[in-house]
Structure 1
């Protein structure tokens, strides 16, 4: 156990940059980390407040039908589902994507302990979200029911074990995908295809489940309990332990969680080296033949390099393109399901009107989730000196990263926008805005990512996950993207009396001006920031 704890501690310190933050003497760096910590704390508090409000509204409905215990079951199911979904495409990077593999494997430590430490790292990343969802729900339940003192003890104990089984299940799927793909040439491509297939099946399965009984969540009757309990039997044990104070379900819940963890680490530990070797092995397609060399411009050459780097990392592709996949799935779905039917399914009667008026912003929301540039500079790591010493302008280097982002987003935006034009039956002006505004947001998001990453680089890392999912630049760029959409959404509702096309046109002009200002900033200040890295 001591080896698992030590490895986990080192990995977490490295992932979150805690060592540098605690021991740096640079006051500018300390101030930056302090402001970032305050921002993260404010974000956590805001999410907890939203979670409390959502739990309180559900509790009000459940109280009317005499089933308050379903609140904890529902919120536990939400926590497990989101943890499962996000861990599927994160597991492979944490388990097999570390640069310190050779160093760690040379230590006199069992392979199962190394695997266990990496699974614990996934657990720590998920327990934070579990706390933000379950603690407010537990407080609401205590207010409504006024339970016995033993409730608080059982609630705190089980809270630590809630994310464990979903993480193990998601990690098993991620590991199976990695193991299957390692048996073939082009293992990274096969891994990406299989992971995307699993995610799309989950999305379609969820929508199909909701479509079969659209009144399931609205009624809040015993049907919802049966649905949750059948899909995830551990929820029954959890409710019996926490709400009914039964010791046997508590011990069974903890025992299943711990046993799953131990069995998984032992089994994966026996195959860990083989899977890692398969994933890192490269194959030569054919013998090299001397041919005439093609000459490309510096921008195109750097663009090809960036594109190869992008597709060489499965976690990079999955984390930054999942928004585009969801957008395409939604656009295709609307060809077969009308917006009126979709509004009934998700209980938003005015969804058809909202989509017709705010379709460009809905599409842009998925674009904001697909920013590759917010971590592209950090991913250079300790090899960034190669780019800095290259005989090309800094602007060309940064533009190559922006171009890759546009390559990922713009083609899917265009296809999805055309599909939405067909399904929504938009006029020529609405169609033009539906096409132009998301493309402008793609440019805006890409340039915001570059600027933020220049300001908040993270070049010292051992695992790509710590850069792609946990770095400050990714978080700040995402917040800016959401704020840039939240304001137009608010203005559209406030100015609902005005012509919707005129409002969207104004929003497009503002985004275009913002893109122009950021482009000039990259030209003027970008070189200074890049050379200072």
Structure 2
């Protein structure tokens, strides 16, 4: 057990760059650690507050129905779904795709211990999402129901076992996708297509199940039946926590733990063979010498960065799934009358709200699709090649901004065009709907580059560390989220003011920020890049 814990601790410290920050004597690095910790705490508080508010709103509805157990059932299922989706495309990278595989496997440590440490890392990362969702929901349930002491004990115990089955299911699907794609020449493209197909297929299936008017008509009974049929473990969980049934909690823990142990054991026995199968590539083509084409330095850097982006399925999925969901939602709204949707959810003014808020809603998808916040860190130990090249550092940084805009702007323009048709917005609203997301795309891209310059991580062993868990990504996402939430709050507070005027003011402020960040990248950014 001591070897498992040591390996896991090393991975956790390297994942968030804490090891370097804790042992450095540089005051700037320590200041960065303090600011990063503060940003993370603010982000956690915001997410927990939103989770509490959402749980409290649902509790008011379920209390009228006499089905408060549905609150914990829904949030438990939501935590499992989030754990599943966040694991499905990073499990292969965490378990098999890390750069120091040869070094770790050469240590005098059992293979099963190495596997256990990698699986434990996945578990601990997913446990965070479970706690953020379930603790506020559990508090709301306790406030509304005032249960006995056994509720608190059973609730806290079951928290530790909720992420286990989603991790196993996601890892199996992710490994299967990686294995299938490795049989083909274009393995990365096949892996990307299969993972996106699985993700979108599950989302579309859930949309179809939730769209039934009968479910909306008899939500108290139908919703519970639907959740328990889709995820039977949720029914066992509700019986254990809400009804304090000892048999149910033992069954819940036994199923989760036994399946997890069985999975880890089998994976440990076949780990080397699975790793070889997943990392083996096939090629049947021969190199043919052709004439070389020349281009400008910026164009060459842009296409190099674009190839690097599409070479990593994890990179594409983590930064592109938001834009795919935006596109799917926009297409769905073409076939769904907003007025009818407003009647179903009992918001008669839904069309008016959408017309005012939709530019910021689209911008939120854009903010969540930032590729630039990890683009410098992904250079890793090859960064010296760029630094030693006779190329302007400004062009290097702006090429990363350009790739970010390539991913976000075209899809947001297409989606906004469809939203204009479905929402029947006026010409001023349509213009703002087209312009505001583009401004946010520029803001997000340059913010990501600056955050990565300030908080680089060039000593990673797996891409997951940089793409999903690095300090630059967290800070960039937090600041981007705040830049959308604050204007939304202003629009609600100034509801008597013309929404188009408020959006125009927000756009002007963001344009000014974009200009300031551009000047920063062109001057201070070059020196920061050269100092990496």
Give the structure-2-normalised TM-score. 0.94
- The structure-2 alpha-carbon separation of the partners of 1:2 and 1:521, relative to structure 1 and needing over 3 Å to count, comes to same
Alignment pair present for 1:334 and 2:333: yes
- The structure-2 alpha-carbon separation of the partners of 1:421 and 1:259, relative to structure 1 and needing over 3 Å to count, comes to same
**What is the aligned partner in structure 1 of residue 253 from structure 2?**
254
Report the Cα distance in structure 2 between the residues aligned to 1:347 and 1:4, rounded to whole angstroms: 53
Report the Cα distance in structure 2 between the residues aligned to 1:78 and 1:156, rounded to whole angstroms: 17
The aligned runs of 1:241-390 (5 Å cut-off) are 241-284=240-283, 286-345=285-344, 348-390=347-389
Once the 2 structures are TM-superposed, how far is the Cα of residue 476 of structure 1 from its aligned partner?
Answer: 1.2
Once the 2 structures are TM-superposed, how far is the Cα of residue 475 of structure 1 from its aligned partner?
Answer: 1.2
Asked if the contact 2:158–2:249 (Cα under 8 Å) also holds between the matched residues in 1, the reply is yes
Report the Cα distance in structure 2 between the residues aligned to 1:2 and 1:369, rounded to whole angstroms: 38
**What is the aligned partner in structure 1 of residue 483 from structure 2?**
484
Report the Cα distance in structure 2 between the residues aligned to 1:345 and 1:87, rounded to whole angstroms: 34
Secondary structure at 2:358's aligned position in 1?
helix
Is 438-447 or 104-113 further displaced after alignment? 104-113
Once the 2 structures are TM-superposed, how far is the Cα of residue 312 of structure 1 from its aligned partner?
Answer: 1.5
Residues 280-330 of structure 1 deviation map (CA, whole Å, 9 limit, x = unaligned): 444446322333221111111111211111111111111101111011101
Asked if the contact 2:93–2:464 (Cα under 8 Å) also holds between the matched residues in 1, the reply is yes
Please tell me the root mean square deviation across aligned C-alpha atoms, in Å: 2.2
Asked if the contact 1:61–1:220 (Cα under 8 Å) also holds between the matched residues in 2, the reply is no
Residues 101-148 of structure 1 deviation map (CA, whole Å, 9 limit, x = unaligned): 111222344444433322221110111121122222223333333333
Secondary structure at 2:211's aligned position in 1?
helix
The aligned runs of 1:511-530 (5 Å cut-off) are 511-530=510-529
Report the Cα distance in structure 1 between the residues aligned to 2:508 and 2:45, rounded to whole angstroms: 34
Is 54-63 or 85-94 further displaced after alignment? 54-63
**What is the aligned partner in structure 1 of residue 104 from structure 2?**
104
Asked if the contact 1:187–1:279 (Cα under 8 Å) also holds between the matched residues in 2, the reply is no
Report the Cα distance in structure 2 between the residues aligned to 1:152 and 1:316, rounded to whole angstroms: 40
Asked if the contact 1:417–1:434 (Cα under 8 Å) also holds between the matched residues in 2, the reply is yes
- The structure-2 alpha-carbon separation of the partners of 1:341 and 1:196, relative to structure 1 and needing over 3 Å to count, comes to farther
Is 253-262 or 113-122 further displaced after alignment? 113-122
The aligned runs of 1:51-200 (5 Å cut-off) are 51-200=51-200
Residues 59-108 of structure 1 deviation map (CA, whole Å, 9 limit, x = unaligned): 33333343333332222122112212222222222222211111122234
Residues 182-225 of structure 1 deviation map (CA, whole Å, 9 limit, x = unaligned): 22221111111011011111221122122114764x86523322
Secondary structure at 1:12's aligned position in 2?
helix
Residues 449-481 of structure 1 deviation map (CA, whole Å, 9 limit, x = unaligned): 001111111122112111111111111111221
**What is the aligned partner in structure 2 of residue 435 from structure 1?**
434
Give the unaligned 5+ runs of structure 1.
Answer: none
**What is the aligned partner in structure 1 of residue 505 from structure 2?**
506
Secondary structure at 2:389's aligned position in 1?
coil
Once the 2 structures are TM-superposed, how far is the Cα of residue 12 of structure 1 from its aligned partner?
Answer: 1.3
Asked if the contact 2:237–2:252 (Cα under 8 Å) also holds between the matched residues in 1, the reply is yes
Asked if the contact 1:210–1:345 (Cα under 8 Å) also holds between the matched residues in 2, the reply is no
Give the unaligned 5+ runs of structure 2.
Answer: none
Secondary structure at 2:373's aligned position in 1?
coil
The aligned runs of 1:442-453 (5 Å cut-off) are 442-453=441-452
- The structure-2 alpha-carbon separation of the partners of 1:338 and 1:455, relative to structure 1 and needing over 3 Å to count, comes to same
- The structure-2 alpha-carbon separation of the partners of 1:504 and 1:140, relative to structure 1 and needing over 3 Å to count, comes to closer
Give the structure-1-normalised TM-score. 0.93
**What is the aligned partner in structure 2 of residue 32 from structure 1?**
32
Report the Cα distance in structure 2 between the residues aligned to 1:330 and 1:65, rounded to whole angstroms: 30
- The structure-2 alpha-carbon separation of the partners of 1:344 and 1:13, relative to structure 1 and needing over 3 Å to count, comes to farther
Residues 356-398 of structure 1 deviation map (CA, whole Å, 9 limit, x = unaligned): 2333222211111110001111111222122111111110100
Asked if the contact 1:150–1:245 (Cα under 8 Å) also holds between the matched residues in 2, the reply is yes
Asked if the contact 1:92–1:315 (Cα under 8 Å) also holds between the matched residues in 2, the reply is no
Is 267-276 or 355-364 further displaced after alignment? 267-276
Once the 2 structures are TM-superposed, how far is the Cα of residue 348 of structure 1 from its aligned partner?
Answer: 4.2
Aligned residues: 532
Report the Cα distance in structure 2 between the residues aligned to 1:112 and 1:3, rounded to whole angstroms: 11
Asked if the contact 1:402–1:446 (Cα under 8 Å) also holds between the matched residues in 2, the reply is yes
Report the Cα distance in structure 2 between the residues aligned to 1:459 and 1:290, rounded to whole angstroms: 34
Secondary structure at 1:48's aligned position in 2?
helix
Asked if the contact 1:191–1:314 (Cα under 8 Å) also holds between the matched residues in 2, the reply is yes
Report the Cα distance in structure 2 between the residues aligned to 1:182 and 1:274, rounded to whole angstroms: 14
Report the Cα distance in structure 2 between the residues aligned to 1:172 and 1:424, rounded to whole angstroms: 41
